[in-house]
Structure 1
Amino acid sequence: MIFSDKFHKNFKNPVLVIVLLIILFFTPFIFKPELLTERDNDLGRTYVPLFSFLKISVTSHNQIPLWRPDQMMGETFIGNPLSSLFYPANIIFLLLEIKIALIAYLLLHFLLAGVFTFFAAKSYKLSAHASIAAALFYAFSNKLLLHLSAGHITMIAAFSYFPLLFLSLRLGILKKNFKWIIIGSIALSATYINYPTIFYYSIIFSVVYFCFRIFTRSEKLYSSIKLIIFKYLSRFLLMFVIMLGLSTIVIVPQLEFAPLSTRPQLNLEDVAIPLWNLKRFLTSLLFPYLSFESLNHESFLYLGIVPTVLAALGFLKFSNRKKMAIIIIGILTLMFVAGLSTPLFKMAYELLPFLKYSRVTTRLWFITAFVIALTSAIAIDRLKSKVLVYLLLGLFLLEAFYIGYKKIFVVPYLDFKKESIYQFLESDNDIFRIYCTSYCFNPQLLSKYNLQILNGENPIQQQGLVRFIERAGNYSYSNFAVIFPPYPVWQNENPPIPDANLLGLANVKYIGSTYDLVNIDFELIQNFDDIKIYKNNKYKKRAFFEHSSENVTVTSYKPNEIELRFKKSSDFRNLILSENYYPGWSAYVDGQKLDVGKYMDVFRKVTVPPNSDSVVFKHQPANYAMGKTLTFGTIILLLIYSFQKFRKKGD
């Protein structure tokens, strides 16, 4: 048994310590969620609107949203990894108010990170206090805390499953325990659904870990090396296949979206960030207080003085073979993280598949944080004085809490909170979009008042739509961007004046701007402090007939379904829907399926047959149906296997 009987008797107390300390850290946010949820970071700008949309779709429209229409003129929701659509923990957002749910979600995953790390440490037969130390060193590592300050909640969720994956590798792959192979596949699936980049680095770690275990075996076992490799590889492939089955429901739509997105256009400079010089790199790694304010969540490598020193002491306890392997892996990791400062990352970029779809070299630092946590626990386990152990943990927690709170509270709150702007726009009962020439709308208030925006914020966008927004916004920008229009476009002396005709075709009725728009087609309606609201006189309805002024009425509008009505005609007519064209959308007239084509390379067009008075657009991607079948089939097979094992155990 990995866990001794004594451990089982004392199980509740160590876990309770971890739970209480994590709750202690989150206490300010539990009592006042807006301290965390209304910051100008990814949590405030992206995830609050995203999960609000998810909740409304399920509770009000009775749909699992495969499509998100509220920004970027509509975008795939299931195909975008940012959505983490089928992650089971998302049920929290359906049960609780969104901002409370976000705190509960974050608290849950910090707890999972700590508890899973505790069990991983116990698998090395470390003492309870050493295992608690490992759990705290990882859960409160600066890697997790800094990404908390950035609002990367799905990334944190992915980080939380890595210790469980590691434990599964040890118990399932190395010791041939099928139960742990299944658990490992679930951990991999949860990692992938939440953040594919973290999944990618977890797979690379798994391969490196197997090589490490083989290299550090004793000499007498080298005669069976081929058999060992075969056993490890076959078990890991089984884990990977089960993971694919569990995740196919999102993998297939994401594979469809990937070549259509802007990710294939990323170049080496876009991926190899942050940029370093030797002084900045060493400061980030060892002396962050010398440049504390300038180091952000991606460039902050420091893991704390206590775990760093303890890890060095724990390292000394390893065999020479293990020391050599760890030094080599450590040097390669640092060279990779250093990006363009060394030749290694460029080689990896050219050789490793899918790396060019990722961004930010330091995203893999969570692995270092976990390894440091375990190695530090080995040193803690050798300490005889519990008082010294408590002192070291206390010092670590003081530093971790200081860094975590400092980085969170320095993030400004979201701007443009004057609700009269959004109330004014909501008062127009028409279906329309708005556009902002600069970053002048509060995403949470747009979501609250159910306002749709042509531009928006998303790290993974559709290529054709980005090009259209550039033309409509009358600007050109060749570098990678997350927010549209990008900051450099309008933060200059001659910001662009948008194209009224293209905005009109995109159903943009109102334009917000922090600077004057000199255009006869833009009518100034009202000033709201720093924001000027203009009406676009070239505005067109959401749906219209080509070369015709006939009226088209939107009678039902849901994420996956749009219903239009109009007068009958004896002629064929081209109906234009001002919604982003994307595979998987079909049109139906009296139950007859029609092909949906492109109009101006970005809108949807369908030819309506004579004597028809309605069209229903439905998003029914075939790849989703296939993925759903495979995922539910895998779940059913695993349930059958588990039931049979339980029944045999009962017999």
Structure 2
Amino acid sequence: MKSLFQRFWPQLIIVALWLIFSSPYFLKGLVPFPSDYLVTFFPPWSAEYGMPVKNNAMPDVITQIFPWKKLTIETWKSGAIPLWNPYSFSGTPHAGNYQSAVFSPINLLFFVLPFIDAWSILILLQPLLAGLLMYLFVRSLDRSKEASLLASTAFMFCGFMVVWMAYGTLGYAALFLPLIFWGINKRSGLAISLGIALSLLSGHFQVSVYVVIASLAYILWRRKWPLMLFLVIGILIAAPQILLGFKSFLLSTRGETIVKGEIIPWQYLLTFIAPDFFGNPVTRNDWFGHYAEWAGFIGVIPLMLALFSIRKKLAEGWFFVILAAVTLLFALPTPLNNLLYALKIPVLSGSAASRIIILTSFSLATIAGYGVDALKDKKNSFLFSLASISFVGVIWIVLLFGKPLPVDTLAIARHNFILPSVLVVLASAAFVLRKKFVIYILIALAAADVLRFAIKWMPFEERQYVYPEIKSLTYLSTHVGNDRVFGNIGSGEVGVKFGIPLVEGYDAVYQSRYGEFMSVVSKGHVYPPERSVVQFDKYGVYKTEALQLLGIRYIYHRWSDGRNVWAFPYWEYVDAGVMHSSYRDEQYIVYEYNGAYPRAFLASSYVVATDDREIIDTLFAPEFNRRDTLILEQKPLLEPEPGPASAKIVSYAPTKVSIETTSQTAKLLFLSDTYDAGWEATVDGKKSPVYRADYDFRAVAVPAGDHKVVFRYHPKEFRWGIILSVIGLGGLVVLLKHK
């Protein structure tokens, strides 16, 4: 037992630190999810709850990530592949939005644990895996156990890993980087390929691109050219996700516009020493910057060790100095950042520039390991102590006598700079002790620093408040069927969590054509859509026409909203006799709109138009009969004719919709779900073309008689991705077998 401890004590310390961080879950049953924030600020729960909120800086976890994960797992469990989301944007690609992480192996947790516990383990595993993999990598650089432990501690709880931990995507995309670098050092093709693939499947393409670029650069630096083949194999393995994501990107507003944003200001570099120098959203005293996007903290002591070690002979460690410097310059307002934006490179030029800071943090943590080993020299230890105290002293002189900030913000900066200063002084004082204790004191102080930072940020809250049951939501979930709902439901993608079909949505890569359609509803003409959000304009020019065409039968309304925050002019429809209440409780009322078209109906005629403006002008013309005439962009195979007809949706699943039709003449079947080239249709088992109708919806020609029309979502990008993935896996097996 003693020999095992002597061999694995650093790994045990990493696990111990992780257990301390995760103890609210294991000991108290709390979950790493901002549930207090959910029920306090997001309707409909905010009408019934109200409580203190720890962290209100992670709304996307509530409005996107958790609902998407719910849809992903439920679809997998139903035996289907989660390629499509029918509940947002009147239907939208699901796997293609990338952050849904549909193909991530970590999803297997949800097949063996209750959902909220699987979610908790998914979130909490990130720092543990990051720490263990970082230790493995730094040891492969011939660093001591102590050096590797400190580097691991700095990386597993670095700013980037902590502030994005609750999302369960960006952290996973980044944490496989040390595994890949270990594979490069050890010439392990398996580690390289799996690390690349796992990163690309983790749910954040931008971070994965950084990982791939850094890995390629390291291979070139180490001159291990043959290993590039394993990097390519890793990309091939993840091809289904990559191709689907690329397709969605091209069809989104992100594929059409590049916006420069989230560049870290020079003064924000002070947070590398004191992360709360400019305040913290948790304590509600943040007054400058974007805390989550700009977090470059790795701990005071690791940073000082990293800076100190640069003056020593680093050998292969110079790669990490260069990587840290270059990536930091890309994140700051520098010519390099301007050049990247000017090049208009998809993903890299138009995304949050600051997220490249993960490579800076990884590099600095690695260099800090070199600094630990350099401190074994007494002279070096003294210089480190002197340099550290001098640096902190200069900042204190400015804070105390320079008065560079207003009084209130200066007080925050001074207060939040005390702890980093104390840590530096304690670390420096440790050098007067016996040499063999100094390094362990530094490790302990560094661990305490980053652990405090992580615990302060991460919410652990009551599981009973994770989307708790609301009577009105239960009514919608059980009564609306395939009809759509419009209302103030939690913002973003919360409707996905409850299987409620909505016309709105929140996704960075939603289809821009649908956004254009909704802009017409709002303004009366095509207008550049928002980059991430589609909202139904309650007072839009064509709101009534859209209510009809999109099949919005239910309006979800809070009683007080008629004169306060969120108000739909339901009274116009009630007075006209086309809307009545179908449900009411103490907080909410549900109105049913009689004028909504069926989600699927048969039309008797069509017009062909290929110009977008002509389509819009025709579709919303007062004299145009949208219930019986469709606008197609090509001539259908059959000519529809007037006559009695009916259509009924008999089954509706995310990637498969079955409709039974009856008609005495040929008809056009209209489905008010968004058009996507990946949708295929069969009529009685025979393939039939799917036409884009009424600007962005679906139609199929059906002959006279009784028929069954089945829509299936099976995009060619997914088929090609599977082929490439099989090729990649096969190539990996062959290469490993003949190694």
TM-score by length of 2: 0.73
Shift of the 565–171 alpha-carbon distance from structure 1 to 2, 3 Å rule, reads: same
Q: Distance in 1 between the 2:507 and 2:264 partners?
A: 26
Verify the 8 A CA contact 1:497 1:517 in the aligned structure 2: no
Structure 1 counterpart of 2:19, which letter? I
Shift of the 131–634 alpha-carbon distance from structure 1 to 2, 3 Å rule, reads: same
Instruction: Provide Cα deviations, 1:177-235, integer angstroms capped at 9, x if missing partner.
Output: xxx1232121111111222211211233234445655xxxxxxxxxxxxxx5xxx4443
Residue matched to 1:242: 233
Structure 1 counterpart of 2:18, which letter? I
Residue matched to 1:575: 669
Verify the 8 A CA contact 2:512 2:529 in the aligned structure 1: no
Q: Distance in 2 between the 1:276 and 1:366 partners?
A: 13
Verify the 8 A CA contact 2:31 2:460 in the aligned structure 1: no
Q: Distance in 2 between the 1:78 and 1:590 partners?
A: 28
Structure 2 counterparts to residues 639-650 of structure 1, below 5 A? 639=733, 642=736
Q: Distance in 1 between the 2:168 and 2:225 partners?
A: 32
Q: How many residues align?
A: 596
Verify the 8 A CA contact 2:248 2:510 in the aligned structure 1: no
- The structure that has the greater radius of gyration is 2
Aligned residue for 1:36, secondary structure, equals coil
Shift of the 496–278 alpha-carbon distance from structure 1 to 2, 3 Å rule, reads: farther
Shift in Å, 1:557: 1.2
Shift in Å, 1:598: 0.8
Aligned counterpart in structure 2 of residue 189 of structure 1, from 187, 190, 197 = 197
Verify the 8 A CA contact 1:266 1:357 in the aligned structure 2: no
Aligned counterpart in structure 2 of residue 169 of structure 1, from 184, 188, 195 = 184
Residue matched to 1:371: 363
Residue matched to 1:403: 453
Structure 2 counterparts to residues 626-645 of structure 1, below 5 A? 626-639=720-733, 642=736
Verify: 1:153 aligned to 2:201, yes or no: no
Shift of the 578–126 alpha-carbon distance from structure 1 to 2, 3 Å rule, reads: same
Q: Distance in 1 between the 2:24 and 2:602 partners?
A: 55
Q: Distance in 1 between the 2:695 and 2:91 partners?
A: 14
Shift in Å, 1:431: 1.6
Aligned residue for 2:164, secondary structure, equals helix
Structure 1 counterpart of 2:164, which letter? H
Structure 1 counterpart of 2:240, which letter? I
Verify the 8 A CA contact 1:415 1:442 in the aligned structure 2: no
Residue matched to 1:610: 704
Verify the 8 A CA contact 1:48 1:98 in the aligned structure 2: no
Aligned counterpart in structure 1 of residue 552 of structure 2, from 508, 513, 527 = 508
Aligned counterpart in structure 2 of residue 464 of structure 1, from 482, 494, 513 = 513
Verify: 1:284 aligned to 2:334, yes or no: no
Residue matched to 1:536: 593
Aligned counterpart in structure 1 of residue 652 of structure 2, from 542, 557, 566 = 557
Aligned counterpart in structure 2 of residue 484 of structure 1, from 513, 529, 534 = 534
Structure 2 counterparts to residues 159-558 of structure 1, below 5 A? 159-172=174-187, 180-194=188-202, 195-209=204-218, 232-236=224-228, 238-267=229-258, 270=259, 272-279=260-267, 281-293=268-280, 294=286, 295-318=290-313, 330-338=324-332, 341-351=333-343, 353-356=345-348, 358-383=350-375, 385-409=435-459, 419-436=470-487, 440=490, 446-447=495-496, 449-472=498-521, 478=528, 480-485=530-535, 499-512=543-556, 514=561, 515-518=566-569, 520-521=572-573, 523=579, 525=581, 533-547=590-604, 548=628, 550-558=645-653
Instruction: Provide Cα deviations, 1:216-273, integer angstroms capped at 9, x if missing partner.
Output: xxxxxxxxxxxx5xxx44431x123212321222222233322212212333xx3x32
Shift in Å, 1:618: 1.0
Shift in Å, 1:644: 6.4
Verify the 8 A CA contact 1:474 1:497 in the aligned structure 2: yes
Instruction: Provide Cα deviations, 1:142-164, integer angstroms capped at 9, x if missing partner.
Output: 2100112xx33111111110111
Q: Distance in 2 between the 1:7 and 1:354 partners?
A: 52
Shift in Å, 1:321: 10
TM-score by length of 1: 0.83
Aligned counterpart in structure 1 of residue 72 of structure 2, from 54, 57, 69 = 54
Residue matched to 1:625: 719
Structure 2 counterpart of 1:342, which letter? T
Verify the 8 A CA contact 2:684 2:707 in the aligned structure 1: no
Structure 2 counterpart of 1:300, which letter? A
Shift in Å, 1:616: 0.8
Aligned residue for 1:71, secondary structure, equals coil
Structure 2 counterparts to residues 37-76 of structure 1, below 5 A? 38=35, 39-40=37-38, 41-59=59-77, 61-76=78-93
Unpaired runs of at least 5, structure 2: 39-58, 281-285, 377-434, 605-627, 629-643
Instruction: Provide Cα deviations, 1:351-370, integer angstroms capped at 9, x if missing partner.
Output: 37434565111111111111
Aligned residue for 1:134, secondary structure, equals helix
Verify the 8 A CA contact 1:472 1:503 in the aligned structure 2: no
Out of 105-114 and 139-148, give the one that drifted further: 105-114
Verify the 8 A CA contact 1:459 1:481 in the aligned structure 2: yes
Verify the 8 A CA contact 2:68 2:497 in the aligned structure 1: no
Shift in Å, 1:550: 4.0
Verify the 8 A CA contact 1:33 1:100 in the aligned structure 2: no
Aligned residue for 2:96, secondary structure, equals coil
Shift in Å, 1:615: 0.7
Shift of the 7–591 alpha-carbon distance from structure 1 to 2, 3 Å rule, reads: farther
Shift of the 357–52 alpha-carbon distance from structure 1 to 2, 3 Å rule, reads: farther
Structure 1 counterpart of 2:195, which letter? A
Q: Distance in 2 between the 1:358 and 1:152 partners?
A: 21
Q: Distance in 2 between the 1:606 and 1:351 partners?
A: 42
Instruction: Provide Cα deviations, 1:329-365, integer angstroms capped at 9, x if missing partner.
Output: 5444333112xx3332121123374345651111111
Residue matched to 2:636: none
Verify the 8 A CA contact 2:31 2:462 in the aligned structure 1: no
Aligned residue for 2:553, secondary structure, equals strand
Structure 2 counterpart of 1:419, which letter? I
Shift of the 534–285 alpha-carbon distance from structure 1 to 2, 3 Å rule, reads: farther
Verify the 8 A CA contact 2:603 2:667 in the aligned structure 1: yes
Q: Distance in 1 between the 2:492 and 2:97 partners?
A: 22
Shift of the 556–418 alpha-carbon distance from structure 1 to 2, 3 Å rule, reads: closer
Q: Distance in 1 between the 2:717 and 2:125 partners?
A: 32
Q: Distance in 1 between the 2:316 and 2:190 partners?
A: 31
Shift in Å, 1:595: 0.2
Shift of the 558–154 alpha-carbon distance from structure 1 to 2, 3 Å rule, reads: same
Unpaired runs of at least 5, structure 1: 1-5, 173-179, 214-227, 646-651
Verify the 8 A CA contact 1:473 1:485 in the aligned structure 2: no
Q: Distance in 2 between the 1:289 and 1:85 partners?
A: 35
Structure 1 counterpart of 2:437, which letter? V
Shift in Å, 1:49: 1.4
Aligned residue for 2:178, secondary structure, equals helix
Shift of the 183–212 alpha-carbon distance from structure 1 to 2, 3 Å rule, reads: closer
Q: Distance in 2 between the 1:604 and 1:259 partners?
A: 20
Out of 325-334 and 282-291, give the one that drifted further: 325-334
Verify the 8 A CA contact 1:262 1:462 in the aligned structure 2: yes
Cα-Cα RMSD:
3.3
Structure 2 counterpart of 1:262, which letter? T
Structure 2 counterpart of 1:403, which letter? F
Shift in Å, 1:139: 0.5
Instruction: Provide Cα deviations, 1:409-458, integer angstroms capped at 9, x if missing partner.
Output: 4999999966022023234253212123x5645855x4454212211221
Shift of the 408–533 alpha-carbon distance from structure 1 to 2, 3 Å rule, reads: farther
Shift in Å, 1:68: 1.6
